[in-house]
Amino acid sequence: PGTLGDNTPPNISMSYIAKEWNNKWEYPKIVVSTFTKYFKKFEEKYGRELKNYRASWPNWWASCNAAAAYEAGVNRYSSSDIMQGEKLHSVAGIINRDFDKYPKDEISRIYSKMLHTHESGWGANVSVLEPYSLQSRGQRFENASLVYQVSINSKKILEDSKKQFSIPGPSKDKHNITVFNTMSWKRSGIAEAVIPSSFIDGDRTIEIVDPDSGEKLPYQIIDNENYEKNIHDHHLGRTRLAVRVDDIPPLGFKTLDILESRVSKKQKPQMADSGGVIENKFYKLKFDQATGNIISLVDKESSKNIICNDSGYAFNQFIYETPSRKRNLGLIEFFSQDNVEAEVSGEFHYFEDSLKEKFKEYYNYPARDMELLRTSPDDQKLVSVKNGDIFSEITTMSSSKMFPEIKTTILLDNYFKRVIVKNYLFKLETLDAEAAYFVFPFNIKEPTIKMNCHGGHFEPEAEQLPGSAKDWYCIQKWMDIYDNNTDITWTPIEAPLVQLGEINTGRWLDKLEIKSATIISYLLNNYWITNTPPNQGGKLWFNYQFTSNNDTFDPVRSNKFGWDALNPIETYFDSGIITKKSESMGGLIADVPENVFIMGLKKSEIDNGIILRLLEVSGRGSEFYLEFCNNNIKEAYEVSPVEDFISKLEFNKQGVKLMVKPYELKTIKIYFT
C-alpha cells in the first residue's frame, strides 16, 4: 500500500500522488481504495468474465515448514494433543454432568497462541542476511518459545482430561491402565502406556487383562534406548509398554487391569538371528545383514514386493543437499551488477520485468540451472534385529555430511497391518544453504496419487489451480498411491512436506509428470532468504507409518489410517481400581456412518451447550441419527462455526437427525438435560 515490501503499513504519499494527478488530468481518475471497495468494484465490472475454478491451491510458501523442521513437528503433536484433550474434557463433562473442570480459558489461550505457531515465517526480514542481529534472534526465539509453550500446555490439557475418568477404589494391590479413543469410530490398535519400573524389577512381571472378557492382552516392553530421544517422552523413571487393545467405544474409554504375574517371562523383544528376514502374518521384510538396507517388503496377501528396487533410491534413503555455489544474500549485490538498472525515488523501487532473470538466485532459489550436490550415508550398518510380541524390528546406524548420527528403526506391527519407520537424527548447524530428504520408493508402475488437504483430498496436477506449487506439497494426515490392484496409504508424523517421483527442488515446475510411485519426504531447508531461520541443528525426529491393500483407493480407509496415526490411542496409569464392572468401559455415542467423522467436540463458547463438528470424507452424503449413550437431549440446532443460529434440528431423547452433504463440515449445538 505505497511502501516497498510486504506486511507494510499504509503510506499517505499515495494519496498525495492521486490528488496531484486528479487535479492535473481529467481522465483517468485515480481512486485510493481499500481492498474491499476495490474488489467489489472489480467484481461489479468484470465478474461475468472471470473463470471459476474448483481445485486445490498448493502454495510455494509451504516449503517454509521445512525451515523450522523441529518446530513444525512439535506443532503437529500439539494440534493432536489439544484436540484430543478438548474432546476428552467434553466427554467427561457430559458423562459426569459437571463442567466445573473444563479448562475453557486455558484452551482459548492455547488456540490463540497456535495462530502464531503455525505461521510459516520464523524470523526477521534480515534473518538470513544478518542471522545474529537482535531482530533475527529475537523474532526467531520468540516464535519458537510460543511453539514450546503451546506444546507443554496442550500436553497438560490432555493429561488432565484423562484424570477425570479415574475412579479410585479401596485396594492398593491392583492397578489400571485406562485407554481412550477420541475418534468417532470403534477402535482397536496398539496403545503405548507408562507404568512404574518397579512393576518389572528383578523377577517381578505383570499381566494386562481386559476385565470384561477376562482375556490376557499381549504387550511388549519398549526399550528405553529407543525412546530416550523421543520428542514428548518425559516419563522419567518409568517403563514404557506397547499393548494390544480391542473395541474401544467411539469417543470413549476402556479400563484394563494390571495384575502381578506368576510367569517369569519378561515381555521384552528378543535379539534374533534372523538370516536377513523379519516377518509376521502381514509382511515379510528382507534386508542386508551387514548394512540393514531393505531388499524387499512383501505383502503376504498379494505376494507382491511393494518396494521398488529399480527406482535409483533405497528405501528410507537419507539424502543431504547443498548448492554447488554460494548464494548472494543481499539485494545490494545485485544492484552493483552490470546492466541492472533500478530507479530509486524516496521510498519506492521500480523494477522492470526484464530484471526477473537477474534476480532469480535471490527470489527463486535454488535457480533452475544451479547444480545441487547430493550425498547419502556410506557407513550404514545393522545394529540389532529383535522379535517381540507386538513388534518385529530392525535398527541401523549411519552418518552423513552435517549429520553425525542417524538412527533408524523399522517395525512390523504383528497385530495390525502397518509398517512404522522411526528416524532419529542429530544435526550440526551451518549458515550454508542446505536441504535434506528421506525417500520412499514404492512399487506401483502407473500410480494415481491422492493427497489429504483441509476437509478433503485432491489429485496433484489434475486437481490443482494453474500456477500453484508442484515442486512440493504440504499434506495433512495422509497421502495415497494406488492403481487398480494395489493401494498404499502413507502418513508422515512430523514432516508434512513431500515431493513426488523425484527430488524437484530447484525445478520450479509448470507441469508435474508423475512417472513413479516414489515419495520424497522433504525434511528441512534454509533456502528462502528472509523471515525464516538461517540454520537448524540439534536433535530431530522424522517418523512415518504406512499400510498396503490389495485393491484401489478408499477415502474412508485412508482417512482412518491417517487420523489413527496422528491421534493415537491415549493411555493413563491409575493406581486405583474400578470397582463396578459397568464402569470399566464407556462411550459418548453409538456408531455413526463410516464416512462421517466427528472432528471437534467442545463446550460452547457462550453458554452450556455442546458443540460438535462433523466432516464427510468420502464424497457421498449421509442421513442418519447421531445417538448418544445414557444422555437425554433437550435441544439441538445447526449453527455456524462461530455458533450463529442456522436451523432447529429434529431430535428425540437419545439422538439427533442429521443430513451431511458430500465433504460438508457441519457444526451442531446440543443441550442435554
Which pLDDT score is estimated for 79?
Answer: 95
Same domain, 312 and 185: no
Asked whether 381 and 387 are in contact (CB, 8 A), the reply is no
Report whether pLDDT(157) > 60.
yes
Does the pLDDT value for residue 205 go beyond 80? yes
Taking the CA atoms of the chain, what radius of gyration do you get in angstroms?
Answer: 28
SS3 176: strand
Mean pLDDT for 170-193 is: 88
Mean pLDDT for all residues in the chain: 89
Q: How do residues 377-398 score in pLDDT, each as one tens digit?
A: 999 999 999 999 999 999 999 9
Examine the domain organization and report whether 106 and 189 are in the same domain.
no
Question: Beta partners for 542?
Answer: 423
Peptide bond into 28 cis (omega under 30): yes
User: pLDDT band at 278, cuts 50/70/90?
Assistant: very high
pLDDT tops 50 at residue 338:
no
- Is residue 646 a part of any domain in this protein? yes
Both 230 and 306 in one domain: the answer is no
Q: Is position 584 within any domain?
A: no
Task: Name the grid cell of 577.
Answer: 481400581
Please tell me whether residues 524 and 442 are part of one structural domain.
yes
Q: Are residues 111 and 241 in the same domain?
A: no
Same domain, 28 and 80: no
Kindly report the number of other CB atoms within 10 A of residue 285's CB atom: 24
> Considering only CA atoms, which of 371, 560, 476, 568 is closest in space to residue 75?
476
pTM greater than 0.85: yes
Q: If you count them, how many residues does the chain have? A: 673
Query: Which strand (E) or helix (H) includes residue 409?
Result: strand 403-413
For the stretch 392-418, pLDDT in tens is 999 999 999 999 999 999 999 999 999
Question: Above 60 in pLDDT, residue 339?
Answer: no
Phi, psi of 663 (to 5 degrees): 60, 15
What is the secondary structure of 449-511 as a DSSP string?
EEEEETTEEE-TTTTB-TTS--S-EE-SS-EEEE-SS-EEEEEESS--EEEESS--TTT--SS
Give the range among 153-167, 290-304, 487-501 with minimum mean pLDDT: 153-167
- CA distance linking residue 577 with residue 565, whole number of Å: 30
**Residues 336 and 320 grouped into a single domain:** no
pLDDT above 70 for 354: no
Buried b or exposed e, range 418-432, using 16+ CB within 10 angstroms: bbbbbbbbbbeeeee
Write the CB contacts of 354 (distance below 8 Å, at least 6 apart in sequence).
none
Residue 406: beta bridge partners? 398, 425
- Residue whose C-alpha is closest to residue 615's, from 592, 634, 599: 599
Tell me, yes or no, whether 307 and 440 share the same domain: yes
pLDDT at residue 103 is higher than 80: yes
Q: Mean pLDDT across the stretch 318-325?
A: 95
Q: Which of 439, 432, 404 is nearest to 526 (CA)?
A: 432
State mean pLDDT over 275-292: 96
Which CATH number belongs to the domain containing residue 419 in this structure?
Answer: 2.70.98.30
CB contact at 8 A, 540 and 425: yes
In degrees rounded to 5, what are phi and psi of residue 526? -135, 40
pLDDT tens track for 609-618 = 999 999 999 9
pLDDT of residue 350: 42
Say how far apart CA 305 and CA 299 lie, in whole Å.
Answer: 6
Strands in 497-500's sheet, in edge-to-edge order, are 372-375, 317-323, 435-442, 517-525, 497-500, 473-474
> Do 525 and 430 lie in a common domain?
yes
Pairing mode of beta strands 570-574, 175-181: antiparallel
Q: Which residue type occupies 634?
A: K
Confidence of residue 125 (pLDDT cuts 50, 70, 90): confident
The predicted model gives 60-74 an average pLDDT of: 93
Residue 400: strand pairing partners:
403
Does residue 583 fall inside a structural domain? no
CA-to-CA distance for 416 and 569, rounded, in angstroms?
Answer: 14
Rounded Cα gap, residues 175 and 204, in angstroms: 15
For residues 346 and 207, state if they share a domain.
no
C-beta neighbour count of 417 within 10 angstroms: 17
Q: Check if the beta carbon of residue 305 is closer than 8 Å to that of residue 297.
A: yes
CATH number, domain with residue 201: 2.60.40.1180
Q: Tell me the per-residue pLDDT of 572-618, one tens digit each, with 9 for 90 and over.
A: 998 654 444 346 778 999 989 999 999 999 999 999 999 999 999 99
My answer on whether 89 and 138 are in the same domain is yes
The answer to whether position 518 is within a domain reads yes
Round to whole Å and give the CA distance between 39 and 33.
10
Query: Which among 517, 539, 574 is the end of a domain?
Result: 574
Residue 580 lies in a domain: no
One domain, residues 536 and 651: no
Alpha-carbon gap, residue 411 to 421, rounded angstroms:
6
Would 450 be classed as within a structural domain?
yes
* Mean per-residue pLDDT, 302-320: 97
Q: Which segments of 604-654 are extended strands (E)?
A: 610-616, 622-627, 633-639, 645-648
Q: Are the C-beta atoms of residues 193 and 256 closer than 8 Å to each other?
A: no
Find the domain containing 21 and state its range. Answer: 13-49
In which residue are the cell numbers 544474500 written? Answer: 329
Contact by Cβ (8 Å): 286, 295:
yes
Three-state SS for 235-261 is: CCCEEEEEEEEEEECCCEEEEEEEEEC
Backbone angles phi, psi at 175, to 5 degrees: -140, 165
Considering the domain boundaries, does residue 2 fall inside one? Answer: no
Cell digits for 501?
517421483
Q: In the structure, what pLDDT confidence band is assigned to residue 353 with cuts at 50, 70 and 90?
A: low
607 occurs within a structural domain:
yes
Name the residue with cell 539485494. Answer: 331
Residue type, 162: K
CA distance 441 to 517: 6
Neighbours of 296 (CB within 10 A): 17
Q: 219 CB contacts (<8 Å, ≥6 apart)? A: 208, 241, 242, 243, 244, 267, 389, 390
Band (496; pLDDT cuts 50, 70, 90) = very high
CATH number at residue 66: 1.20.1270
CATH code of the domain covering residue 613:
2.60.40.2220
For residue 497, what are the contacts with CB-CB under 8 A and spacing of at least 6?
62, 63, 65, 66, 472, 473, 474, 521, 522, 523
Q: Look at the chain and report how many structural domains it folds into.
A: 6
